[in-house]
Chains A and B, each alone.
Chain A
């Protein structure tokens, strides 16, 4: 079973969200997603200040084999793209819920239709 922290929220496209104390959201990809992609070798994160819409492709993670878009789960403004993963993409493989975060966004409105850990676990089980 994949590691699915209970304190995060999830999307059906395998991003996770962490609500930060200052109201920002931190976004990354799940353990399941990084396993499916394999060794990551290139990550493009959005620049600070960029406005994003929920469902908009705003980052790219590329493994040796394939490129995948990362979609913003919320409307908002990018506060920071993680410079560490741009320099060391393997951080997403080794620590997807920690040092491998991709970006922080200041949301304009609460995110709609996110999954909790149980819901995401069911999604993986149904797909499995």
Chain B
């Protein structure tokens, strides 16, 4: 038996099929992962993401430390609560993890890292914090619920008193706010950290809250017709949205330039010396691989580790699945840079026809693949 989130008993009661994920017992689905996927695309769903690791960096040194620790630049975060997606790199440029960092104020940054990388991330962060004026606090006292979908924000806000609801609905994309005890009559909803971020390609909130309140808030969200959804739907949603999954599409063996994440590496200003910068700059003129998207034209399902055959050489599927919004199979694949058009993928001994399609495949409920490509014959 793995570690359990504060919502474990709730999941069991709601009929979740639990699986091990990074050492945690997590819901795979509550009956049908396809229906959960569609609920998020069409209305609202919620995910227990309490297995993810919240790390608060506090102190005068937190900002300067993060500017050295991360490949993206927290110096871009000018407004309070603003968040930033970034990779954390080794000296050789390999991706230790991908994360979101929020600047709550000058001396308080909140970082959310992956569950499976928790231990190595914390060790790395603490080792590099050294004797800088920064406290590294792992927030094991917090649970986290992601509410996603076109109706998500309105249905969450409906639980809050008018002033707090207005604050939540005013949040710009990728901005977070902290609600205090005075903002909410309900004690379960007090002290919520609410960010307008997610991992599904839909609008919504990610809510961090005291672990003791998690079950009550989950029930309250459920009463707002927000459907519980498991990691199965989370994976197909993020794949359609073109988001990387650490361990599949990202790993220590590849740098962000070879992982479709060059846009997250802030090489300006040039004087900012972040960990991995020298390695990336040395490799910049000769990046040979990239992550791109595939649409399967033949019948079948693309899966991780399948070989991709292109006119520029071989590649590898890093994440593949059935895309419920498309009714087709899609994938992310690491291929030789510059590959376009048709490729073949080795699926169970056969070579199936696929087409390079730049992710995202789906955004805010809309399919982004042109109809003529969806209609192509193998």
Contacts and interface: CB of A to CB of B under 8 A. Distances in A.
A102 to B, nearest CB: 16
Contacts of B274: none
Given A39-B33, A39-B34, A64 B236 contact: yes
A64 B303 contact: no
B324 to A, nearest CB: 7
Contacts of A42: 299-301, 322, 329
Contacts of B299: 42, 44
Contacts of A38: 17, 28-29, 32-33, 232
B321 interface: yes
Given A38-B28, A38-B29, A42-B299, A64 B232 contact: yes
Contacts of B13: none
Interface string A26-65: 0000000000001101101000000000000000101011
Contacts of B34: 39, 41, 64
Contacts, number: 38
Contacts of B300: 42, 44, 62
Interface string B276-313: 00000000000000000000000111010000000000
A24 B300 CA distance: 28
9 contacts: A38-B32, A41-B34, A42-B322, A42-B329, A62-B300, A64-B34, A64-B232, A64-B322, A67-B301
Interface of A: 38-39, 41-42, 44, 60, 62, 64-65, 67
Contacts of A67: 301, 303, 348
Contacts of A64: 33-34, 232, 236, 321-322, 324
Interface in B8-40: 17, 28-29, 32-34
A39 B17 CA distance: 13
B28 A41 contact: no
Contacts of A62: 300-301, 322
A44 B301 CA distance: 11
A78 B301 CA distance: 24
Nearest to A90: B34
Interface string B323-337: 010000100000000
A42 B28 CA distance: 19
A65 B239 CA distance: 12
Contact of B348 (A41, A60, A65): A60
Contact of A41 (B17, B29, B301): B301
